[in-house]
């Protein structure tokens, strides 16, 4: 029975109405039996923040208002250096895949991420991507600076060689051409 329920929930998680063009990456959690994912195709990195879609597939549908919820999508933002998380919006889906509720949230302050929580698991996974992006940008800037320095050194060397050649040409006397012989030929 559990296996059949898991198969049904997995099929719901892959339903086209929920996952069109998404690249869901599973997040492994030790204590929580529900399934968690983030959408790799819709990550937005801005300085030390990462904004993403989180999908939850509940192993047992959860009661909410007058319905049961089988899965949910959350739009969240993590600030990696401040260790905070902000919920931007969420969508709740019934076991049939029907959208039950969409709710944008108020522009409140982000909440601190509690150690060993689900937010902490997402922070560890996603902030690694932010750090990798920062390292990639640093390496690109370093390579660009090296290339610019090499170009500058090359231009300076060319200018130095040209100046030396011009100076050598000015110092070196040109061979004198004997004046034409204007005397009459002697016979």
Does residue 102 lie within any of the structural domains? yes
For the chain, percent of residues with pLDDT exceeding 90: 52
3-state SS class at 78? strand
Does residue 70 lie within any of the structural domains? yes
Where residue 141 falls among pLDDT bands split at 50, 70, 90?
confident
What per-residue confidence (pLDDT) applies to 77?
Answer: 97
Does residue 103 lie within any of the structural domains? yes
CATH code, domain with 25 = 2.40.128
Structure tokens at 139: 């390496």
Split into its structural domains, the chain has a count of 1
Does residue 177 lie within any of the structural domains? no
Residues in the chain: 187
Whole-number Å distance between alpha carbons of 66 and 26: 29
Does residue 163 lie within any of the structural domains? no
Does residue 49 lie within any of the structural domains? yes
Q: Report the chain's mean pLDDT, rounded to a whole number.
A: 85
Backbone phi, psi, residue 70, to 5°? -100, -30
Inter-residue contact 125 to 113 (CB < 8 Å): no
pLDDT digits (tens, 9 = 90+) for 65-89: 999 999 999 999 999 999 999 999 9
Whole-number Å distance between alpha carbons of 125 and 45: 14
pLDDT digits (tens, 9 = 90+) for 7-55: 444 444 555 444 458 999 999 888 789 999 999 999 999 999 999 999 9
Q: Is the alpha carbon torsion for 112, 92, 17, 30 positive or negative?
A: positive
- Kindly state the helix (H) or strand (E) to which residue 133 belongs, with its residue range: helix 118-171
Whole-number Å distance between alpha carbons of 31 and 38: 18
Does residue 45 lie within any of the structural domains? yes
Does residue 99 lie within any of the structural domains? yes
Containing domain of residue 129, as a range? Answer: 8-139
Tell me how far apart the terminal alpha carbons of the chain are, to the nearest angstrom.
133
50-64, 124-138, 161-175: segment of lowest average pLDDT: 161-175
């Amino acid at each position: 029975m559990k296996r059949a329920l898991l198969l049904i929930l997995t099929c719901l998680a892959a339903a086209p109405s929920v996952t069109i063009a998404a690249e869901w990456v599973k997040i492994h959690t030790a204590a929580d039996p529900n399934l968690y994912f983030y959408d790799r195709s819709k990550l937005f990195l801005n300085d030390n923040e990462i904004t993403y879609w989180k999908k939850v597939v509940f192993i047992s549908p959860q009661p909410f208002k007058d319905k049961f919820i089988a899965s949910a999508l959350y739009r969240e933002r993590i600030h990696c250096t401040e260790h905070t998380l902000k919920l931007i919006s969420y969508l709740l889906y019934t076991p049939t895949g029907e959208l039950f509720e969409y709710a944008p949230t108020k522009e409140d302050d982000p909440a601190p991420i509690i150690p060993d929580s689900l937010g902490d698991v997402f922070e560890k996974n996603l902030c690694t991507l932010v750090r990798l992006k920062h390292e990639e940008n640093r390496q690109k800037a370093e390579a660009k600076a090296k290339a610019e320095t090499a170009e500058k050194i090359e231009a300076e060397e060319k200018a130095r060689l040209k100046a030396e050649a011009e100076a050598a040409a000015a110092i070196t006397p040109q061979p004198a051409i004997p004046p034409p012989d204007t005397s009459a030929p002697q016979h």
